[in-house]
Structure 1
Amino acid sequence: MKSRTIVLALGVTLALSGCATTKSPTGRGQTLLYSASQMQQMGDASFEEMKKQQKISTNNKLTQYVNCVANRVTAVLPDQSQKWDVVLFDSEQVNAFALPGGHIGVYTGLLKVATTPDQLATVLGHEVAHVLAQHGNEQVSRAQMTGVGMQIADAALGAGGISNKDLYMSALGLGAQVGVLLPFGRAQESEADVMGLELMARAGFDPAQSVILWQNMSKAGGSQGPELLSTHPSNSNRISQLAKLQAEVLPLYQSAKANVKNQCVVPK
């Protein structure tokens, strides 16, 4: 699918969030059992839980830098009514996530691997793309249909205590933190790579740095790789796919970079 078509399709996908069966932004079939409001409740609750569990960084310069990159990525999203909350967690984990409801979490350890604004934008574009493509909804729906998450809907809608929070937090991409793994599938990962690459290019970040970022990722954390790859499996085709897509998104980057007003600089 051509890049200009993908962003247009995002708006259609968001509008169809209440449907049980729909198409992803790249045309892949999806079964979605939960409404946008239900997914937002899950995302909101999960993010609040993460802020209780994880130490939040007090480094103002790093926080401003991460916010700068994240704000530029989210500024090119089709739905500008959604406000995004960005939190930098003080942890050596090489990880980041995005959740329905407009939440982005970044771990300070990621900044040792994603060493440039463009590389950080690669990760954030990828994570935000998971939300836009409703991959969390797919995961929770799959758990529901297989009988694993029969109480998830009650947890999302109930006014009292949240049950099965680990399960749906995992389905929303937080498996490494809660110890329950429902990893995104290869099709979802590939989709997030494609969409994320377009998002970063539209935000004025160099898409060529995406290849370097994933090369860095494959080298980080020893033989097991960093936490990010435990829930975002890197396959042999990822880097080659991103390399092939460079020519398609390069015009988007060249057009956007001339209009970037907010340059993001790595703190010294």
Structure 2
Amino acid sequence: MTFKPLITAVCIALMVSSCAKSPLGRSQLKLYPSNQMDAMGIQAFDSMKSEQKVSQTKVTNSFVSCVADYITRQVPKSVFAGEWEVVVFEDDQVNAFALPGGKIGVYTGLLKVTENQHQLAAVMGHEVGHVIAEHGNERMSNSTLIGVGMEVTNQLLNANQIANNNMIMAAIGLGVQVGVQLPFSRTHETEADIIGLQLMAQAGFDPRQSVNLWQNMDKASGGQRQLEFLSTHPAPATRIEDLQNNMDGAMNIFTASAEKPNCRK
């Protein structure tokens, strides 16, 4: 790619960024069409199902599907209008995920930390929140823009014959990672927490249990975490504070909800 097209690509990306907004009003950069993101989500999910062990335990699958059904019913049809697919994977990792195209995966390790339907709903609401806010699209778009931006910088350095070009580019790469990519991921996590809190409340799950969930997560980690500054995820204490700051609104939604889930392990 020559220098002029690179500059053009950066300008187009910045114009797109100024137009897109997240559900919480934050400016976003989204370069990929939704149908393309859906296709990638479906392909990734199918690959995971073929490579990882899927749980055949009826009680576990019924419980997870029950919670997922209440959560996904709250998702706007503009995000996904089809039927969501939910799969429980036999794995000890404490995790879950949601992908564009209506796909949700839950690992059995998570069910050892979540004590009830409300806490599982907090995790599931958070993961679906990433899909609603199109964070996957945004991350891919920003990675594309960062790659273009670094290539522009590289060409400028070469054009001016600056010494130690590789060392400078390495420093810029580190600066991009710590200054842009990782903090931006923390922004996504916080945004998904807030969207998820609203989702679980709309679905009739007690949003106060989200705080209990992260207390459990903190205990389960055994204190083995990176410093928050160099982590893609906020520390549990930070998440709990953010959740509590948004709890009054969530409780109002919860009180007004007509949903009465009764999902049991």
Q: TM-score, normalised by structure 2?
A: 0.74
Do the aligned partners of 2:215 and 2:236 also contact (CA within 8 Å) in 1?
no
Note the residue ranges of structure 2 that are not aligned, 5 or more in a row.
1-15, 149-180, 226-230
Q: What does residue 245 of structure 1 align with? A: 246
Q: C-alpha distance in 2, partners of 1:56/1:231?
A: 28
Tell me, yes or no, if the aligned pair for 2:217 and 2:236 is still in contact at 8 Å: no
Which residue does the alignment assign to 2:130? Answer: 130
C-alpha distance in 2 between matches for 1:103 and 1:182: 25
Residue of structure 2 in register with 1:214 after alignment: 214
Between the aligned residues of both structures, percent identity stands at 50
- Kept in 1: contact 2:96–2:123 (CA 8 A): yes
Aligned residue for 2:41? 43
One-letter amino acid of the structure 2 residue matched with residue 66 of structure 1 = V
CA distance 1:208–1:128, change in 2 (3 Å): same
Residue 116 (structure 1) aligns with: 116
The residue number in structure 2 matching 1:78 is: 76
Task: Structure 1: state its 5+ residue gaps.
Answer: 1-18, 149-180
| Alignment partner, residue 65 of structure 2 | 67
Larger Rg: 2
Q: Is the 8 A contact 1:88 1:108 kept in 2?
A: yes
CA deviation map 1:6-52 (0-9, x unaligned): xxxxxxxxxxxxx6640111111111110001101110111111112
- How far, CA to CA, are the matches of 2:131 and 2:145 in structure 1? 20
> In the TM superposition, what is the alpha-carbon distance from 1:133 to its structure 2 partner?
0.1
CA pair 63-182 structure 1, distance change in 2 beyond 3 A: farther
What is the match of residue 205 of structure 2? 205
| Alpha carbons of structure 1 residues 96 and 232: separation in structure 2 relative to 1, 3 Å | farther
How far does the alpha carbon of each residue in 1:137-195 deviate from its partner, in whole angstroms, 9 at most, with x for none?
011112222339xxxxxxxxxxxxxxxxxxxxxxxxxxxxxxxx989612111111111
Q: How do residues 80-229 of structure 1 correspond to structure 2 at under 5 angstroms?
A: 81-147=81-147, 185-224=185-224
Task: Indicate conservation of the 8 Å contact 2:74/2:203, yes or no.
Answer: yes
* The structure with more helix, counted as a fraction of residues: 2
Distance 2:130 2:191 in 1: 8
* Alignment TM-score, normalising by the size of structure 1: 0.73
CA RMSD of aligned residues (A): 2.1
Alpha-carbon offset, residue 82 of structure 1: 2.8
- Equivalence for 1:176: none
Select the residue among 23, 26, 32 that pairs with 1:25.
23
Give the deviation of 1:77 after TM superposition: 1.4
Distance 1:104 1:184 in 2: 23
Count of paired positions: 210
| Cα distance change on mapping 1:200 and 1:92 into 2, 3 Å | same
- Secondary structure of residue in 1 paired with 2:88: strand
Alignment correspondent of 1:265: 264
Distance 1:183 1:60 in 2: 40
One-letter amino acid of the counterpart of residue 59, structure 2: K
Cα distance, 1:259 vs structure 2: 3.8
Residue aligned with 1:215, SS:
helix
1:57-108 CA-partner distances (Å, limit 9, x unpaired)? 0101100100000010001112162321000001111000000000000000
